[in-house]
Structure 1
Amino acid sequence: MEGIKVIMAALAGVFLAAVLKSVKSEMTMLVAAGVSVLILFYILSGLSVIVEQLKMLQGYIGISGKYIGILVKMIGISYMTQLAADICRDNGQTAVAGQLEVFCKITIAALGMPVVLTLFEVVTKCIG
């Protein structure tokens, strides 16, 4: 049921932006940003459920809590970058959107390095 609410809010925002575009085109960006923030709140409520499940999984398999934190940060960075890049593209700033996406990829690679290093340590111990 939450999914339908989110879809309806998004469609209402798109239709409102389409109406406002002919009257005040600068208002369309504000409508898009407002709808995006509303959807973000729904995403955050769903993310809390995922974090709870990850914590349960962590207890079962005994992985470090820092890896769960890294995963949540990666998801957050990906979502926020996609949102910002889409808003940039909607406003004709494709170069800025592209640079945001490159920044996101580099940031996620840097965040993931401890996980990769730990994986190599485990593989090395198993082999050697």
Structure 2
Amino acid sequence: MEIVQIVGVGLIATILAVLIKDQKPQFSFLIALFTGIAIFLFLIGKISLVIQVLERLAVQSNINMVYLETILKIIGIAYIAEFGAQMVKDAGQAAIASKIELAGKILIIVMAVPIISVIIETIIHLLP
């Protein structure tokens, strides 16, 4: 049960961060940051398995790989922006965190434009 390990690491890091926060707040933030990175690195293998399955399905379905790559990049942007915003919020900088979230949303829109264009063109060709 990998989730038990992840939750265990998270709980231990939380306890350490809370205990240290009063004396050394910068170390408390670093504990949270490194714990988040460690959990992310732990999940990289799982993420790569999902990507491999999606690539195999795309090849079997004769879907242009550019669309799958774009969708995966969009998902990556969303997760990275969320992770960064949460870390910055933990450091007490909510204003900067909201800017990170805004940047992530804008980048997602920019990346989605080609896919939206293809969908609109397909709909137009289907209409009489």
Deviation at 1:109, TM superposition (A): 0.4
Deviations 1:70-100 (A, max 9, x none): 1111111111111111111112211101111
Q: Percent identity between the aligned chains?
A: 25
Any residues of structure 2 matched to 1:1-128 within 5 Å, and which?
A: 1-128=1-128
Deviation at 1:59, TM superposition (A): 2.0
The structure 1 segments of at least 4 consecutive aligned residues displaced by more than 4 Å after TM superposition are none
TM-score, normalised relative to structure 2:
0.93
Name the SS for the 1:110 alignment partner.
Answer: helix
Q: Distance in 1 between matches of 2:82 and 2:115?
A: 23
Greater alpha carbon shift after TM alignment, 117-126 vs 27-36: 117-126
Q: In structure 2, what residue type is equivalent to 1:44? A: I
Q: Where does structure 2 lack aligned partners over 5 or more consecutive residues?
A: none
Q: Where does structure 1 lack aligned partners over 5 or more consecutive residues?
A: none
Deviation at 1:58, TM superposition (A): 0.3
Residue correspondences, number: 128
RMSD value over aligned CA atoms? 1.2
